[in-house]
Structure 1
Amino acid sequence: MNIVQLRNATLVIEVGPYRVLVDPMLARRHALPSLRWLDGQHQRNPIVELPVEADDCLATATHCLITHCRKGHFDHLDRAGVCWLRERQLPVICSPDDADYLQKRGLNVQPLQAGTKAQPFLGGQIRMVPCRHGRGAVGRLMMHGVGYLIEWPGEPSLYLAGDTILTDEVRALVSTQQPDISVVPAGGARFDLGGEIIMGIAEVTQFSRLARGIVIANHLEALNHCPVRRDELIHAMRCVGVSDRVRIPADGERIVVPG
């Protein structure tokens, strides 16, 4: 299995004959609105271009997997991503909650069934894991989406956390299932008001202490409401002694995970 980090939450899972594109935000730099306005943070998004590796990587995609996309979550599926998927009619796997939204945009939607039980997925199985996209008043306004636990025969188990803070459900999953690989949002995203709506340094640290497998941190240095930098996250992981298991890839980097 290979995992290619493209930008923010957008990545490609390469396993067997499949190339699964996750949460495609494909817009050019500064083509999307700002997500913060105060304290000089009002630059438009994304704040970086896609890496040069993106074109070749996208050209091989066979399927798309969406964690969430409604209520303005362009950082997981933007207009450019919708157009790209519609032109190619790639199968788009999503939660039942997102199916109507995506079908109305002309995509080839293959929704999962409701619930958290394992379901067939590209020769393996997948199960949805609840997300919690923030706490308090901000959290009540957010569309929370799902994460996914994916298992293929002969391959490492993979947990895509989606946009979530570190909840009791996430703690329970990583403690009991111990995925071989976990991809977690680490940017500490927050709006002008309210607290973090995804994991930041403290919660990624806690998650990485619970997990025995490889932890891949993304959602970094691509959006103006994600203040966590790669260098400070690397430093934090070294300080707590988990840097040997935590990967913090650059955009365009391919992580090779032995089967």
Structure 2
Amino acid sequence: MRITWYGHSAFKLEFGEVGILLDPFITGSGYRGDMNEVTRGVTHILLTHGHGDHVGDTVQIAKQTGATLVSSFEVVSWLNGQGVEKVEPMNTGGSIQLPGFTVTLVQAFHSSGELVNGVFAQLGHPNGIIVEAPGQPTVYHLGDTGLFSDMKLIQELYQPKIGFVPIGDRFTMGARTAAYAVNNFLDLETVVPCHYATFGLLAPNADDFIRQVTKAKTKIVVPEKGVAFEA
């Protein structure tokens, strides 16, 4: 599996004929690369929740690529109304089989919505996302979340090997709680910290998180934006 981080919580997964963008907040994340490289080969867009710093460039990318959007019923209905044609609605706890992989939405402790004409519109529940594919390591994108002990149950059920873990604090777990999750509730081989350094309100780097992760088997990868790595 080829993985690319574009800053904030935006990732691309590539394997076989599949190209998945997760939470593609690209143009606002500080990424300065070629958007054509980001969108090349994209078949699906997966969104954890409806905040603007996760929905990001979804509408533009979906229209350009014809990618299928997968998210909660409320989020896909909202974006379908903005011109995203191919949608797969889901909700927390459900799984769907797509060409080449399976998506499961799991719980996250956060919120989900967007300002519409000055009023905050609720857009369903926030989620984490599990991506399972034959012959590939299972990926768990935690989305935006606080710490919760049922992360251990998610680990037992789906056995993810790769985790995208928010560490920025204030709006999600910070270094202390994110490291606690990795050390005590998850059994990941590779962790990529995310949701930090994008805005001044977030942790400026991953240093505190890295220092507090003590599980020997877990490798922490802090990639450069737009530079892919294999997992």
Normalised by the length of structure 2, the TM-score is 0.83
Matched to 1:77, the amino acid is V
Question: Paired residue for 2:162?
Answer: 181
What stretches of structure 2 of length at least 5 have no aligned partner?
112-120
Question: Paired residue for 1:151?
Answer: 132
CA–CA separation in structure 2 for the residues paired with 1:212 and 1:174:
7
Shift of residue 121 of structure 1?
2.3
Kindly indicate whether structure 1 or structure 2 has the higher relative contact order, using CA contacts under 8 Å at least 6 residues apart: 1
1:108-161 C-alpha deviation (Å, 9 max, x unpaired): 242234451432123232211011117xxxxxx986411111211111111111
Contact 1:27 1:81 in 2 (8 A): no
Which SS does the other structure have where 1:172 is aligned?
helix
Contact 2:76 2:88 in 1 (8 A): yes
What stretches of structure 1 of length at least 5 have no aligned partner?
29-45, 135-140, 191-196
1:204-251 C-alpha deviation (Å, 9 max, x unpaired): 2112113222222111211232125123333333xx354852222222
Relative distance call for 1:228 and 1:242 in structure 2 (3 A) is: farther
Question: Paired residue for 2:179?
Answer: 205
Question: Paired residue for 2:227?
Answer: 253
Which SS does the other structure have where 1:202 is aligned?
helix
- Rg (Cα) greater in structure: 1
CA–CA separation in structure 1 for the residues paired with 2:201 and 2:217:
25
Question: Paired residue for 1:23?
Answer: 23
Moved over 4 A (4+): 141-144, 241-244
Q: Which of the residues 133, 148, 152 maps onto 1:171? A: 152
Contact 2:45 2:58 in 1 (8 A): no
- Superposed CA RMSD in Å reads 2.5
Shift of residue 87 of structure 1?
3.6
Question: Paired residue for 1:37?
Answer: none
Shift of residue 163 of structure 1?
0.9
Structure having the higher strand fraction is 2
Give the number of aligned pairs: 219
